Chains A and B, each alone.
Chain A
Amino acid sequence: MYNASDLKKGLKLEIDGEPYVVTEFTFSKPGKGQALYRTKMRNMVNGNMFDRTYRSNDKFKKAELLERAMQFLYSQGDEYIFMDNQNYEQISVSREQLGDDLNFMIDNMDVQILLFQGRTIGVTLPNSVNLRVIQADPWAKGDTTGNDSKPVTLETGFVIQVPPFVNQGDLIQVDTRTGSYMTRVKE
């Protein structure tokens, strides 16, 4: 069990049988009055956001989440198939649950599958991945528009802003947490 004083950004709680993560946290306490622990939370199953205020005496359950190392095999319609490398067990995760993480997923990639009460609720990707640029307009020499970035399309279909020197066929490193370009990978 957690107490109100344990609340902080990133804490994962179980409320009415669902896992929530605290995305914003404010402690307030008017003079001589009782403390308020104001939070914004995200439902980790359906993504819904909501506000909740706790008091000093409130207690709540820790969300028991498990992480399991798996490999992404392939997609089949809206289903994405992962395999446990230890026992070869396969599971499928829906497009909905993967959300924006799909922008960074390629076949045979190692990920952590996040489980709550045996149910898959999402994946945790590595902080950065290497992805191939499949479409890029060449940077015109003498371009004087002053733009220091251009959009390119990656092998996952994700469009990203990169520096002008990145070409079609290049491999680049992308930050999966922010979706931003990090560096060009030498091959």
Chain B
Amino acid sequence: MPTKVSSTLKILEERAAITQAVRSFFIARSFLEVETPIRIPAPAPETHIEPQKSEGWFLQTSPELCMKRLLASGCNNIFQICKCFRKGERGRLHLPEMTMLEWYRTNADYQQLMHDCENLLRFLIPNQNLVLGNKTINLNGPWLRITIDAAFKQFARMSLETALSTDSFEEILVVDVEPKLGINTPVFLIDYPAEMASLARLNPITPQTAQRFELYIDGIELANGFSELNDPVEQRLRFEKEREVIHSAGRSAGPMPENFLNDLGAMPDSAGIALGLDRLVMLLTNSQCIDQVVTFTPETV
């Protein structure tokens, strides 16, 4: 008796169709499909994302750095569907090996990426009604854009400032805010605090926030996008800060991604976004758990 795969044949067929539809969406809009190396010498240092080591190099946690180097070398709009690896992430919505859809636009900012998300979902769901459990999420009409600050005011037991200063941002976000997001229509949570900018550009008028957003549907975070920082000096400072935090947590940070920093100055103003393809398939197939949309999980492979 062979081990039962995680998903049903029906979901595997739907998954294949969704992947092909995503490809045709981007190809029809003149995006170039690219493949960058999965095993890399230096990932972006990020405090809360732990890469998996591979013979002294690392499995990518995201194709971000290589894709930006492609923009720096003259590519315009590009997309990629690839595997990413993040150590220790396992839950209803998490797999340590997942499939990412990532796309970049040159001469664009995060607003344009939000429009892309709207157009992509509307393209994938021709009748504009996403059925989840016993409710329906309508994709017509404008999708709400709400700043993190406003979302905390509306849904959380404490303000964003208090949450940040008491190191309870994630807990309040997960417990109070996320379950309220994207219930009737998808929602963009926008303008993250500057300390969570990561590789994002800060807002020119309100530099305490970054031009970063996350897309939520039915309380599930589906995508993370931002206007890209292309100042190599500022980016190096942020990486050094992240590396200090990683070291103080007792982990070893990988080497500084020097090739990326070297190319970053040549990258035109751009915006990029990562969308979890497994979660997208979950939503489109009305599945309750990420295990249901992949062939094997770490426990069964």
Contact = CB atoms under 8 A, between A and B. Distances in A.
B27 to A, nearest CB: 27
B170 to A, nearest CB: 4
B196 interface: yes
Contacts of A57: 249-250
B249 A32 contact: no
B169 A29 contact: no
B4 interface: no
Contacts of B169: 33
B231 to A, nearest CB: 19
A85 interface: no
Contacts of B88: 5, 35, 56
B173 A32 contact: no
A36 interface: yes
Contact of A31 (B90, B91, B214): B214
A30 B171 CA distance: 9
Interface residues of B, number: 25
B269 interface: no
Interface string B143-178: 000000000000000000000000001110111001
Contacts of B93: 28
B174 A30 contact: yes
A92 B281 CA distance: 56
Contact of A30 (B90, B178, B249): B178
A36 B167 CA distance: 12
A53 to B, nearest CB: 6
A34 B172 CA distance: 12
A27 interface: yes
A108 interface: no
A32 B89 CA distance: 12
Contact of A26 (B89, B92, B214, B250): B92
B221 A31 contact: yes
Given A5-B88, A27-B90, A53-B171, A32 B198 contact: yes
Interface residues of A, number: 16
A34 B196 contact: no
Contacts of B89: 27, 29, 35
Contacts of B249: 57
A29 to B, nearest CB: 6
Interface in B35-92: 46-49, 88-92
A35 B249 CA distance: 14
B183 to A, nearest CB: 17
Nearest to A51: B175
Contacts of A31: 214, 221, 224
A27 B174 CA distance: 10
Contacts of B94: 27, 29
Contacts of B170: 29-30, 33-34, 36
B224 A32 contact: yes
B48 A33 contact: yes
B54 to A, nearest CB: 20
B174 A35 contact: no
B196 A33 contact: yes
Q: Which residue, A33, A36, A56, has most C-beta atoms of chain B within 10 A?
A: A33
B92 A34 contact: no
Contacts of A27: 89-92, 94
A28 B88 CA distance: 11
Contact of B173 (A5, A33, A38): A33
Interface string B1-29: 00000000000000000000000000000
12 contacts: A26-B91, A26-B92, A27-B89, A27-B91, A29-B91, A29-B170, A30-B170, A30-B214, A30-B221, A32-B48, A38-B175, A56-B88
State the 3 A-B residue pairs at the shortest beta-carbon distance, nearest first.
A27-B91, A31-B224, A33-B170
Interface of B: 46-49, 88-94, 169-171, 173-175, 178, 196, 198, 214, 221, 224, 249-250
